Structure 1
Amino acid sequence: MRGLNLDHLHTFVDVAELGSFSAAAERQNLTQPAVSLQVRQLEQRLGVRLLERTGRRSTPTAAGLVLLEHVRRIDAAVAGALDALAEHASGVAGRVRLGTGATACTYLLPPLLRSLKARFPSLEIVVTTGNTAEMLRLLEENRLDVAFATLPIPARGFAVTPVMDDEFMAIFPPDQDPVPETVTPQALAARPVVLYEPGANTRRIVDDWAARGGLTLRPIMQLGSVEAIKEIVAAGLGCGVLPGMALRGDRTAPGLVARSLEPPLIRKLAIVVRPDKPLTRGLRAVVDGLQSLAGPGS
Structure 2
Amino acid sequence: MKRIIPQKLNLEQLATFELVVLHGSFSAAAEQLGLTQPAVSLQIRQLEKFFNLKLLERIAKKMKPTSAGFTLLEHNILINNAIDGALQSMAVHAHEISGQVTLGTGATACIHLLPPLLGHLKQQWPELDVNVKIGNTDEMLKAVTENRLDLALVTLPAAGNNLSITPVYEESFVVIQQAQPRLLLDEITPERLVNLPLILFENGSSTRQLIDDWFQQQGLRPHPIMELGSVEAIKQMVMAGLGVSIVPQLAMSQPQNSSRLCSHPLNPPLNRQLAVVLRQDKPLNKALKKVVDGLLALGAPSMLPAISKTD
Give the TM-score taking structure 1 as reference length.
Answer: 0.67
Q: Count the aligned residue pairs.
A: 214
| 2: CA distance, partners of 1:149 / 1:251 | 27
Instruction: Tell me if 1:152 matches 2:157.
Output: yes
Return closer, same or farther for 1:92/1:217 CA change in 2, 3 Å cut-off. same
| 1: CA distance, partners of 2:163 / 2:152 | 10
Q: Any stretches of 5+ residues in structure 1 without a counterpart?
A: 1-84
| Percent pairwise identity | 46
Give, as a single letter, the amino acid of the residue that structure 2 aligns with 1:120: W
Q: Which residue of 1 aligns with 2:106?
A: 101
Shift of 1:296: 2.4
- SS of residue in 1 equivalent to 2:227: strand
- SS of residue in 1 equivalent to 2:247: strand
- SS of residue in 2 equivalent to 1:215: coil
Shift of 1:175: 2.6
Shift of 1:90: 4.7
- SS of residue in 2 equivalent to 1:118: helix
1:30-68 deviation per Cα after TM superposition (whole angstroms, max 9, x unaligned)? xxxxxxxxxxxxxxxxxxxxxxxxxxxxxxxxxxxxxxx
Instruction: Tell me if 1:228 matches 2:233.
Output: yes
Q: Which residue of 2 aligns with 1:134?
A: 139
Q: Which residue of 1 aligns with 2:259?
A: 254
Q: CA RMSD in A?
A: 1.9
Residues 141, 160 of structure 2: 8 Å contact kept? no
Q: Which residue of 1 aligns with 2:294?
A: 289
Task: Give 1 or 2 for the bigger CA radius of gyration.
Answer: 2
Q: Any stretches of 5+ residues in structure 2 without a counterpart?
A: 1-89, 304-311
Q: Which residue of 2 aligns with 1:209?
A: 214
Residues 86, 92 of structure 1: 8 Å contact kept? no
| 2: CA distance, partners of 1:167 / 1:155 | 25
Give, as a single letter, the amino acid of the residue that structure 2 aligns with 1:212: Q
Return closer, same or farther for 1:106/1:297 CA change in 2, 3 Å cut-off. closer
Residues 246, 252 of structure 1: 8 Å contact kept? no
Q: Which residue of 1 aligns with 2:168?
A: 163
Shift of 1:285: 0.3
Give, as a single letter, the amino acid of the residue that structure 2 aligns with 1:136: L
Give, as a single letter, the amino acid of the residue that structure 2 aligns with 1:213: Q
Residues 181, 259 of structure 1: 8 Å contact kept? no
Return closer, same or farther for 1:123/1:151 CA change in 2, 3 Å cut-off. same
| 2: CA distance, partners of 1:193 / 1:260 | 16
Stretches (4+) displaced over 3 A = 85-90
Shift of 1:230: 1.2
Q: Which residue of 1 aligns with 2:202?
A: 197
Give the TM-score taking structure 2 as reference length.
Answer: 0.65
